[in-house]
Amino acid sequence: LAKTTQPISMDSYEGQEVNITCSHNNIATNDYITWYQQFPSQGPRFIIQGYKTKVTNEVASLFIPADRKSSTLSLPRVSLSDTAVYYCLVVNGSNTGKLIFGQGTTLQVKP
């Protein structure tokens, strides 16, 4: 499975848009990208997934360029409650359930 690299930490302020970029240079043709959010003392929560171009849901947007070697999670107008660790994962399309978590990005939203 492709290894992912993302910033260890990011700071933002309430109301701002936050973009977290993840690199996955060795992504395979049948891999897709997925993002999870984890609050302290909770299990990770699925946010969004995509294969290419742009995906949007009620929580976030995911931008994937044509070469798919990176992806950007965009959180619009963050609030204090968005303070969490965000994980970028590359998942094999055979959907074996084997998730490889990297170190994640700790997002701190300030008032």
Nearer Cβ to another protein, position 13 or 46?
A: 46
The only residue of 11, 53, 101, 108 in contact with another protein, by rule CB under 8 A: 101
Q: Is 94 in the site for another protein (CB under 8 A)?
A: no
What is the SS3 assignment for 51-111?
CCEEEECCCCEEEECCCCCEEEEEECCCCHHHCEEEEEEEEECCCCCCCCCCCCEEEEEEC
Distance separating alpha carbons of residues 21 and 66, to the nearest angstrom: 15
Q: Is 37 in the site for another protein (CB under 8 A)?
A: no
Q: Is 36 in the site for another protein (CB under 8 A)?
A: yes
Q: Is 67 in the site for another protein (CB under 8 A)?
A: no
Beta bridge partners of 74: 19, 61
Nearer Cβ to another protein, position 12 or 50?
A: 50
Residues at the interface with another protein (CB under 8 A): 34, 36, 41-49, 87, 95-104
